[in-house]
Chains A and B, each alone.
Chain A
Amino acid sequence: MILGVSIYEILTLTSILFFIGVYGFITRTNLISMLISVELILNSSVVNFVVINKYLFPEVLQGVFFAVFIIAVAAAETALAIAIIINLYRLISSVEVKDTEVMKY
């Protein structure tokens, strides 16, 4: 654990990052910007897993395993999302949300 830093401060930081991500997800109108916001949300939740593992259950490693799994799923999700976005750009020459009416090609 971090000397002199309580669990409350770290959870406050991750909550702030989470809601910044939510704010970006709602206000952005661009697919890649929304993907960036999703990355912020996922990352703050990963930090929560790790911190709770370290501060409350230091003798086990379950939080680390789940963190690795979340990172792997997030990487897969990002790769697929970017593939879809590039394909969409090829079809409609835009990545704005309001222009995205059909996903099927």
Chain B
Amino acid sequence: MAEKIIFYILAIIMVVFAVASVSSRKMLRSVVYLLFVLIGMAGIYFLIDYNFLAAIQLTVYAGGIIVLMIFSVLLIHHIEMELEVAKTFKKIITAIVCLAGLGIFLTTIYSHPFNVIENSNSTTINEIGKGFLSYEAGGFILPFEVISVLLLAAMIGAIVIAKGTKASPTPPKEGLRSGAKTDN
């Protein structure tokens, strides 16, 4: 029973902060609201007894991505500036389309009979690690290596892109950009 109450509290927190995150007019607040949603998801992983995944969620998302986003917001945005909002008509149309999609999702989900297996298995990190590094049938060693190469490539790419070239005193206009590039 306690789990049920905790789940509902987490669900309410997540939905409220998700709505606040996509509708807040201050960008930094919107990032911080996203942080609460991600922490709520980590709470659901804890409830469902995947502690390793919850730890990953907290370290990678709450610790890494949110900090990265806050840094970028502070770099490129004035704190006091308010975001411009979309037109009310566009908002209403989008909300209607999203509600229709949600309705289709929910009717599909509720009309599908899931064969739920009652269990209280708990997973150890040992099993997860062995599954990742096993090269027998059902092992995940190849995707694991591919992901490590992908992360390396993304890191190098991010450094190369964000480093850029030396800033010219006047920002080049479009159309002249390819010509201006060769002059440097």
Residues on A lying within 8 angstroms of B by beta carbon are 1-13, 15-24, 26-30, 32-33, 35-37, 39-40, 43, 46-47, 50-51, 54-61, 64-65, 67-69, 71-80, 82-87, 89-93, 95-96, 101-102, 104-105
Contacts and interface: CB of A to CB of B under 8 A. Distances in A.
B50 A64 contact: yes
Nearest to A24: B22
Interface of B: 1, 3-4, 7, 11, 14-15, 18-19, 21-23, 27, 30-31, 34, 37-38, 41, 44-45, 47-50, 52-53, 56-57, 60-61, 64-65, 68-69, 72-73, 75-77, 83-86, 90-91, 94-95, 98-99, 101-102, 105-106, 109-110, 114-121, 123, 127-128, 131-132, 138, 140, 143, 147, 150-151, 154-155, 157-159, 161-162, 164-165, 167, 171-172, 174, 177-178, 181
A104 B21 CA distance: 31
Contacts, number: 233
B97 to A, nearest CB: 8
Contact of B50 (A10, A54, A57, A78): A54
B131 A21 contact: no
Q: Which of A59, A69, A89, A102 has the most CB of B within 10 A?
A: A69
Interface pairs A-B: 5 shortest CB-CB: A24-B22, A76-B154, A4-B4, A83-B162, A83-B158
A102 B173 CA distance: 10
Contacts of B143: 65, 69
Contacts of A22: 98, 101
